[in-house]
Every structure is written in structure tokens, then in C-alpha cells.
Structure 1
């Protein structure tokens, strides 16, 4: 089974996601919860307090991590760290206000491979999540990240023709508040297929609650996530074809053998049932 160092901007995401987490490898490192602390400081004394509520800024909530925030706002987590001069991206406080759009005249970093990722995070779920490199020009005010649409996209350059990633029965539906994807039952070792052609931007166990996880980037708009696998059969930066076997179903960080499958559109979870063909 494959496991390697963490890759970059998977704000991808990675769950993803703040959603995405354990590998069955004997080399597995423990996951630490290094997100926003539970102790509440006076918000007025926290970094960035003067920007609270302004467009392009994000106020840290309980349970947030840099990767989770990056996934929600569709920006590379490393850029958010840089824009806010964070010495340790694993340490943020509830009520702290972070810049989540580039300062005027600042380019967003491209998705260059890196080997370190904040502990306790993958995006994503993010996201991992996965923004595209953009740039603002001097004199142009940066706009906040767009909100996810409530309806499936119409045909276009970024439209994706998805297939079901597993053949088992559906045991859990999408719930925006409680379940960011679908639960598909099966037996340990059943094949998990790539729902569409894409590139592996995450393969590992770095996001608690998701077990052995794979995240695929399909284009500038869509990501898919495949959680709780028994075995991962692909590695980061690998290109995969639609229908290719990428993992074997398992029960890592789950109460039973199942596949948790997510589709993320512009970093936001959407109901996969609205994008998948009828069975």
C-alpha cells in the first residue's frame, strides 16, 4: 500500500474537505488536532481584529484548521499562511481574522510540490482543497471567493461526466450539515474506481475521520474524494483514467466497510447524486 509525504496546496482539500484521516501502514504517524483552540481570547486582541467582517477576510471558528479554511475559501493554504505571516500554520485561534484573498498586486502561488503540510490536515477536504493560480493587478480590489452554486453546472469547459466509484448499495445520502458526500457499502477489498479522469493531488491518511483517503483533481472546478479505503493503489501527482481502480474498499476510520465519496465544486461539497448517472 502506498503512503508518502504530504503535498502542497491541496487546499485542497483536503478534505477536503476539514473535513478528511489513518493509513494502515506501520509507519503511520499519529494525527494531532492542531486546529483552532477551545480557549476564547478577547476577539479585539487577536491578530487581524480590525478586518473582521470585511470582504476577503475570514474569522476563525471552533474546529477550523488552515487546510479547512483554505478548502472553504478555495485558496492554497500556503498562500494563506504567507499573506498572514503565520509562523506556525498549526496554531490559529478562534476569533482570529485571516486574509483569504491576495493583497493587491500579489500573485497566488502555483501548485508547486512541497513535502510538508500542517499536521492534522490534508484540504479539504480539503480542500485539500484545490484552487487555480490567479493574480490580481495593482489598483484592482481582490474579490472574495465565490460561493458554491446550488444547482449543478451547465455544460461547459469544466463540466465533468462522472461515473459511480463503487457498485455497492447506497447507505448514506448527502447532508450539507452532517454528511458531505455519499456512503456506498461493499466488502473489504472491493474496487474503488476513479469517477472521472484526473490527477491524484492527495493520497494518504492526514485528515482525521476519513481513513485512507484519495483526492482527485479533475479540472479547475471539480475534485472528488474517496475515503475509508483499505489499500491505496495510486500515488500523488499520478494521472488516472475514468473507471481506473485507485483503491480497495475498507473501514479505516469508519464503523463498517464502506466508501465515503465526495464531489467538491470550487472547493464546496455538493450532492454527488446530482452529478452521477441514474442506476
Structure 2
């Protein structure tokens, strides 16, 4: 009798495990970090944040965020500080005039600048502004995914191997590196001028620090798979906080 009872108990135990496996698993927070809402009115600064990383994650122009919070260069912030992500009442979103498109330019004909409607608007930067910089490809490899203005990919994904060099696409200053932005893994953000930033995601080893002034073509990291499922580089360009298509500025292959 004892043997039969043990057998029944074992069957019930296995059946219970099978039934439990049919229930959906709870969502997993990537790298243990909770996604913060970009539309929140305020953002609490965490260790490792910079004003640039907060502006990047929220789709804002870093100069707007600094102005709304009365923060002057070099834009130092402290953990626990509360930052406003929307303009105060009666204050415009940006006080900087939009550069004009050259008459007859392709940008003027095809895609005039859009008025942003969301926290992460997309636009094409004026030719005159883009022409101030001379971009190079940040690494070698085939394109895995292109930029999608109305889709989830706000940059390009380039295939490669672990340890493959990642280069600065243009000269500038490192304004963030770390793993605090969900979905990017180990990330580097470079400020090129008052208008343009670029980002290099899923890095492995990083060779630069925040504040470093770097040259175009300088090795800044090794390619890795941090925050993703394969070795690749996710590369983004932002113009005044808005994502733009990197291939509009990179040399044609």
C-alpha cells in the first residue's frame, strides 16, 4: 500500500510541475534595470547618470534639459537630484533657432524639419549643420538592420565579432559610458558639437572615459554582445535630441 501511495504522489507531483510550466513566466528586467518612463515629468538622477544620458534616454536636447533645470556647463548632476524633462509653463521647448535648409537642397525638397510630437521625434538634420562634420563608419561589417523613422530601431546595427574594434565616427568628447540605459548594454555617447551626439551600444571592453576628448577614427571600445543576443554594434546619431538616420552622414559603401 505504501508503495502505491508513493507512486500516486510522484505522479501528482509531476503533473503539478507540468501544469505550472503552462503559466507564463514573469517578465524579466533586462540586466536588473527597470525601464523609466520617458514621458515622466521629472527624472530622479541615479548613480552613473549624466545629463547627456538622461536627455538621450528621454529623447530631449541636452541643452533644453540643462536650461529647464538651471544647470550650467559642464552640466554636473548628483544622484538623488530631480530633473525636469518638460519645459516649465510659459517656456519654449528650445530657444535655439533651427538652421535653415539651403535653397533647393534635397532635405528641403523631401523632408522639411518636422515639429516634434513625441518625446523621441525623428527628423533630418539640415545639410548646413551636418556638413560641419566628417563622419566615418564606426566599424566594419554588414548591416543587420537599418534605421526606421517610424519603427523601433533609431539607429543601425552592424554585424561583427567579439573584440572587433569600434571607432569614433567623428571627433568629440565622451559624455557618457556605462550600462544604465536599458536595451543598450555597455554604451558610449560622444558629443561632437552643440547639435550632434553619437552612441555606440553593446560594447565589450571600453577604452575611453567620460570627459576624454577623442579624434575621429580613434578606437574607443571592442565590439561585444552586452545587452543583446549576438556580437554587433548598434550605432545612433542624434540631432538636437532627435534620432536621425546615420546613413545620411556616413560615407557610402
Alignment match of 2:169 (pick from 175, 178, 195): 195
Determine the C-alpha separation between the residues in 1 that align with 2:163 and 2:176: 20
- 1:173 is matched with 146
Determine the C-alpha separation between the residues in 1 that align with 2:191 and 2:148: 22
- 2:59 is matched with 72
Deviation at 1:150, TM superposition (A): 3.2
- Residue 230 of structure 1 aligns to a residue whose secondary structure is strand
Q: Which has the higher contact order (CA 8 A, sep 6+)?
A: 1
- Structure 1 residues 270 and 156, CA gap change in structure 2 (3 angstroms): closer
TM-score using structure 2 length: 0.62
- 2:93 is matched with 144
> Any idea what the Cα deviations from partners look like across 1:61-90, whole Å, max 9, x if unmatched?
9xx9663687423246975xxxxxxxxxxx
Alignment match of 2:79 (pick from 75, 100, 116): 116
- Residue 253 of structure 1 aligns to a residue whose secondary structure is coil
- 2:36 is matched with 35
Written as runs of structure 1 = structure 2, the 5 A alignment for 1:200-239 is: 200-239=174-213
Root-mean-square deviation (Å): 3.5
Q: Unaligned stretches of 5+ in structure 1? A: 1-20, 23-29, 37-57, 80-100, 119-126, 128-140
- Structure 1 residues 154 and 117, CA gap change in structure 2 (3 angstroms): farther
Determine the C-alpha separation between the residues in 2 that align with 1:174 and 1:71: 18
Contact 2:174–2:212 (CA<8 Å) still a contact in 1?
A: yes
TM-score using structure 1 length: 0.57
- Residue 180 of structure 2 aligns to a residue whose secondary structure is coil
- Structure 1 residues 207 and 149, CA gap change in structure 2 (3 angstroms): closer
Deviation at 1:161, TM superposition (A): 1.2
- Structure 1 residues 117 and 173, CA gap change in structure 2 (3 angstroms): farther
Contact 2:39–2:58 (CA<8 Å) still a contact in 1?
A: no
Determine the C-alpha separation between the residues in 2 that align with 1:273 and 1:157: 12
- 1:251 is matched with 225
Determine the C-alpha separation between the residues in 1 that align with 2:140 and 2:190: 19
Deviation at 1:228, TM superposition (A): 0.3
Determine the C-alpha separation between the residues in 2 that align with 1:70 and 1:211: 13
The structure with the largest helix share of the pair is 2
- Residue 155 of structure 1 aligns to a residue whose secondary structure is helix
Contact 2:166–2:220 (CA<8 Å) still a contact in 1?
A: yes
| 1:270 lines up with 2:244 in the alignment | yes
| 1:163 lines up with 2:112 in the alignment | no
Q: Unaligned stretches of 5+ in structure 2? A: 1-28, 45-53, 95-114
> Any idea what the Cα deviations from partners look like across 1:105-143, whole Å, max 9, x if unmatched?
x8453333345378xxxxxxxx9xxxxxxxxxxxxx532
